[in-house]
Structure 1
Amino acid sequence: MNILVWKGHHSKEIFELTKRALSSDNVLLILCPPRIDDISDYYEYLPSGQVEFFGEFFGKESFYNDSKTTFKETVSIGLFSSGSADIFPKLILYTKGNLKSSNDGIMSFFSETDFKKIVCYPQPYHIFGLSLGYALAIDRGVELLFDVGVYSKKSHKLWLETIENCGAETLTLGTPTHMKDLLSYLDSENLTPCASLTSIFGGESVSVNLWERARDILKIQAPSIGYGCSEASPGVTHLPPGVHPGENGNLGAPLPNVKLTCEKDGLRVAGENICHAIIQNNGIIFPGGEYLMSDIIKKKDDGNLQYISRNNLVLNRGGEKFSLEMIEAYLLDELSLNVVSVCVNDERLGEDLGGLIESPDQESIQNILFKLKEKFNRNFNSHNFKIVNSLPKNSNAKVDRKSALEIVKG
């Protein structure tokens, strides 16, 4: 086997290497984000084969990886999860069948939507961009357009140019944050876009307001919402193009080839889309077609699922536990305020609630405290809340909770 190891941001070279990996039964492509400098601890868990380096790793000496790890199926793509904040980040290995199962399931919701071009907003971890961008474009034989390098306003300019020329046949891929940035860019430049066909928003919960602004201001005729995780390649559920979400966090229905079970500890996902292997903490796990996501999900009467929160974002306030994301969703619903909730140290309680509020109005703090008192019958400390013009973002263009905590503490 040939093992190709690449490091960097989105690049035309990645696309070509992906084509090479997906067209062969003897190539494994490992994509490393910019912050990964060394993967020597992972080699013993990879297949045996000749290792070659590309991107920012170009120039490193090739070598033969002699491994004792055996795989039941051939793995073709390896991606680091954007959720990996550990000292030993999670490397997820996929077969071609994993990626195809996920994309086929997602595309079953697009049977009446004929797109011929994909505009993909970049993320340095490549999960969303590769599996729903590169791999989908290769599998479907459609043109993929994306900006190279670090995420910037150039992506918005590329999107505008594309839809001006062929908006009626364009699918836009991006996170809710990308769409919010695009809306701000259009407003600041006083620009009005041409109409475009459809989109998939994924990576975090989507509000009704954002979906409607995408339709009415961005003029995306049939926006859709995707939900999943890196381990599911990444599709789990989908809200079809043009279907109004009705309420914040509507995830749509399970992909037809995926089985979901809501459990106390999260959402269990089963199907051919589940990754073949996970390397983390000096070991390798083979999920065997099942994976437990640490998300709290509610099944609605219409069969769709609604995102509530992640299990691991919990405030333990003197033994009383609160979901940080549930609080954020509640304040968005009640006050239309974007808030990132954090846990701050408290001498008496151990932890207390803090928050960073995106608002021009200092009175927003008092409004939030009133609503939290109304909801939980608890008084929270106003000194733990700060007003900012915009919430901090990480390299994946998502809200940076760690930076938010530092601002609140400061």
Structure 2
Amino acid sequence: MHQQGIGTWLAKRRLRSPDKAVLICDGRSDLTYRQLADGADRVSTMLGDRGIRRGDAVAYLGENSPEFLQVMFGAAKLGAVFVPVNTRLAPPEIAHVLADSGTRLLIHDPEFAERVSIAGTAARIPHVIVTGDGTTAGPGLDRLLSTTAAADRFDVEVTLGDPAAILYTSGTTGRAKGAVLTHENLTWVALNCIVDYDVVSTDVALMISPLFHVASLGMGALPVILKGATLVLERGFEPGRALAQIERHGVTMLSGVPTTYQLMAEHPNWAATDLSTLAKLTCGGSPVPPRVLNAYEKRGLSFSQGYGMTETSPGATSLPPTMTRSKQGSVGLPHFFTDVRVTDGDGAVVPHGHVGEIEIAGPNVFPGYHGLPDATAAAFRADGWFRSGDLGHLDPDGYLYVSGRIKDMIISGGENIYPAEVELLLSEIDGVTGVAVIGVPDERWGEVPWAIMTVRHGASVDTGTVQDHLDGKLARYKLPRNVVIVDELPRTASGKLRKAELRDRFGASARTEP
């Protein structure tokens, strides 16, 4: 049988760089490519012995660890489908993921046993295994693998078009949908990263984000492993510890979201930490605020910013560090093997500078949602382009600017207001740590913009501050009519703002505002 999928990667790396460290995990010995490949082979045998076959779903609920990667690659070798489960989900949400994906075997960390006892029962999973040595209920993953010999008893043909993973979208409305990512999708997103972020075999990448997120997996771990570089694998993010790890291990690559970078820059150890090895910083989720750009540029560091989603594995565009200032607010050019266009409501491409729906094509774009043919059909144009549901425009140089979700666009007195444009300017205000611009009902204008913000302790920000800052930078109708300071902005497990929740919360109160 012939295998083309990601399940072959570790075996090939074992031949090319067997003694090179692939994983550095504090408290554990560094793992070489040979050891990681051997572990994945034992996982594959163990799964096969339990009846897991091509197309079966294998779920993993746990923090970043070597076992996460061993299970993913071991499942891929069998042609099984890997289902990484968000560790922040509640039992009913876990139950939905396990049941919807048809999970036949679940591996989880011990600390999630209580949640699994509810979710696992609901999903009727045939096999449940705990990481570590195990419990009185049965042997753990470590003991099982220590008594399993790597074998190729389950020789399976795997093509690039076969499903490799199902990753569940954040579910800002309704239940989360499972995006099916093929071996081809994961291969090409890794190649895009290698080309556009210049990943090399000598890189040391600090992994501070959870691997169950598609960005950490598809644009973090996979390109590093494909290129034969090294991952410093963290179970979670703590800014002081992240700074220490950069200095200790000579980290060259770091990925995160604006908040993580801001927290590191505000940490007491920021100025004293040696960051001289850092060369490649990538950031997604939202534009990097100017104050964060300034903090890193003072240390000689610049960002690659980007745009994407689970359905694009996830990278769609990237903005090179050299263009951070000249194209501020842009999410960059399409990745090397990806195409982006902007269309009107009928699917016709609009001229540069005109706002429309962002659409994406390329080998990194998923084939559809698991078990949801109607949702899949609605997500694609007849010519095969994926409809992102996001608004944006391309400038004359082909750089993409995102305006926000279609459903988040505000229509005030017949004029369109794109929240992302306002939010970027508001993030410049000193003391603002988070901002969401939403539309709330208004008897005269239909709806008007409000700014919902979080601010640094001791900072003073109000409607006057906001309107003064925006005066002359935006049309008057785009200025927030009200500013509300909250302790925390509601977000999904992947960090996306839950604007629907904010609209529900503040929409009724808007009717009583003067």
Shift of 1:332: 4.2
For 1:255 and 1:349, locate their aligned partners in 2 and report how far apart those are by CA, in whole Å. 40
Change (3 A) 1:377 1:11: same
Q: What amino acid maps onto 2:69 in structure 1?
A: F
Shift of 1:271: 0.7
For 1:18 and 1:381, locate their aligned partners in 2 and report how far apart those are by CA, in whole Å. 46
What is aligned with 1:354?
A: 450
Q: What amino acid maps onto 1:309 in structure 2?
A: G
Please state if 1:274 is matched with 2:357. Answer: no
1:99-114 equivalence runs, <5 A: 99-111=186-198
Please state if 1:175 is matched with 2:175. Answer: no
Residue number among 324, 330, 335 corresponding to 1:250 in the alignment: 330
For 1:31 and 1:349, locate their aligned partners in 2 and report how far apart those are by CA, in whole Å. 45
For 1:176 and 1:335, locate their aligned partners in 2 and report how far apart those are by CA, in whole Å. 15
- 8 Å CA contact 1:41, 1:282 repeated in 2: no
For 1:332 and 1:193, locate their aligned partners in 2 and report how far apart those are by CA, in whole Å. 28
Consecutive unaligned residues of structure 1, counting only runs of 5 or more, are: 65-70
Which has the higher relative contact order, 1 or 2, with Cα contacts under 8 A spaced 6 or more apart? Answer: 1
Q: Secondary structure at the match of 2:67?
A: helix
Identity %: 18
1:364-383 equivalence runs, <5 A: 364-370=462-468, 375-378=474-477
Change (3 A) 1:165 1:9: closer
- 8 Å CA contact 1:18, 1:135 repeated in 2: no
Change (3 A) 1:270 1:394: closer
Change (3 A) 1:200 1:381: closer
For 1:112 and 1:379, locate their aligned partners in 2 and report how far apart those are by CA, in whole Å. 41
Please state if 1:116 is matched with 2:203. Answer: yes
Q: Secondary structure at the match of 1:266?
A: strand
- 8 Å CA contact 1:356, 1:386 repeated in 2: yes
Q: What amino acid maps onto 1:52 in structure 2?
A: L
For 1:145 and 1:364, locate their aligned partners in 2 and report how far apart those are by CA, in whole Å. 42
What is aligned with 1:68?
A: none
What is aligned with 1:234?
A: 314
Q: Secondary structure at the match of 1:250?
A: coil
- Cα distance per residue 1:165-189 (max 9 Å; x no partner): 343x5210111121112222246x7
What is aligned with 1:4?
A: 58
What is aligned with 2:73?
A: 19
For 2:359 and 2:284, locate their aligned partners in 1 and report how far apart those are by CA, in whole Å. 19
Shift of 1:138: 2.7
For 1:14 and 1:129, locate their aligned partners in 2 and report how far apart those are by CA, in whole Å. 13
Q: What amino acid maps onto 2:74 in structure 1?
A: R
For 2:191 and 2:405, locate their aligned partners in 1 and report how far apart those are by CA, in whole Å. 27
RMSD, matched Cα: 3.6
For 1:115 and 1:226, locate their aligned partners in 2 and report how far apart those are by CA, in whole Å. 23
- Cα distance per residue 1:20-61 (max 9 Å; x no partner): 234x15121111223222136524xx6xxx811121476745
Q: What amino acid maps onto 1:223 in structure 2?
A: F
Please state if 1:224 is matched with 2:281. Answer: no
- 8 Å CA contact 2:244, 2:273 repeated in 1: no
Change (3 A) 1:320 1:278: same
Residue number among 60, 77, 82 corresponding to 2:165 in the alignment: 77
Change (3 A) 1:25 1:192: same
**Range 173-182 or range 272-281, more displaced:** 272-281
What is aligned with 1:53?
A: 106
Q: Secondary structure at the match of 1:251?
A: coil
- 8 Å CA contact 1:233, 1:273 repeated in 2: yes
For 1:283 and 1:340, locate their aligned partners in 2 and report how far apart those are by CA, in whole Å. 31
What is aligned with 2:273?
A: 192
Change (3 A) 1:213 1:18: farther
- 8 Å CA contact 1:117, 1:142 repeated in 2: yes
For 1:358 and 1:237, locate their aligned partners in 2 and report how far apart those are by CA, in whole Å. 29
For 2:272 and 2:491, locate their aligned partners in 1 and report how far apart those are by CA, in whole Å. 24
1:152-171 equivalence runs, <5 A: 152-153=237-238, 156-167=239-250, 170-171=252-253
Change (3 A) 1:77 1:147: same
Shift of 1:319: 4.8
For 1:301 and 1:318, locate their aligned partners in 2 and report how far apart those are by CA, in whole Å. 29
1:300-339 equivalence runs, <5 A: 300-317=395-412, 319-332=414-427, 339=435
What is aligned with 1:396?
A: 494
For 1:32 and 1:239, locate their aligned partners in 2 and report how far apart those are by CA, in whole Å. 30
For 1:350 and 1:372, locate their aligned partners in 2 and report how far apart those are by CA, in whole Å. 22
What is aligned with 1:42?
A: 100
What is aligned with 2:38?
A: none
- Cα distance per residue 1:192-230 (max 9 Å; x no partner): 34321212111222345433423324x54x532222221
Shift of 1:390: 7.1
Q: What amino acid maps onto 1:244 in structure 2?
A: T
- 8 Å CA contact 1:81, 1:91 repeated in 2: yes
For 1:80 and 1:98, locate their aligned partners in 2 and report how far apart those are by CA, in whole Å. 15
- Cα distance per residue 1:293-340 (max 9 Å; x no partner): 223333223333233333221223355442222221243468895532
- 8 Å CA contact 2:359, 2:387 repeated in 1: yes
User: Larger Rg: 1 or 2?
Assistant: 2
- 8 Å CA contact 1:202, 1:226 repeated in 2: yes
Shift of 1:363: 5.8
Q: Secondary structure at the match of 1:294?
A: strand
Bigger strand share: 1
For 1:371 and 1:212, locate their aligned partners in 2 and report how far apart those are by CA, in whole Å. 19
For 1:93 and 1:166, locate their aligned partners in 2 and report how far apart those are by CA, in whole Å. 35
The TM-score normalised by the length of structure 1 is: 0.79
Q: What amino acid maps onto 2:467 in structure 1?
A: L
Residue number among 385, 403, 406 corresponding to 2:483 in the alignment: 385
For 2:219 and 2:478, locate their aligned partners in 1 and report how far apart those are by CA, in whole Å. 44
Change (3 A) 1:330 1:162: closer
For 2:431 and 2:329, locate their aligned partners in 1 and report how far apart those are by CA, in whole Å. 14
For 1:224 and 1:332, locate their aligned partners in 2 and report how far apart those are by CA, in whole Å. 19
Q: Secondary structure at the match of 1:100?
A: helix
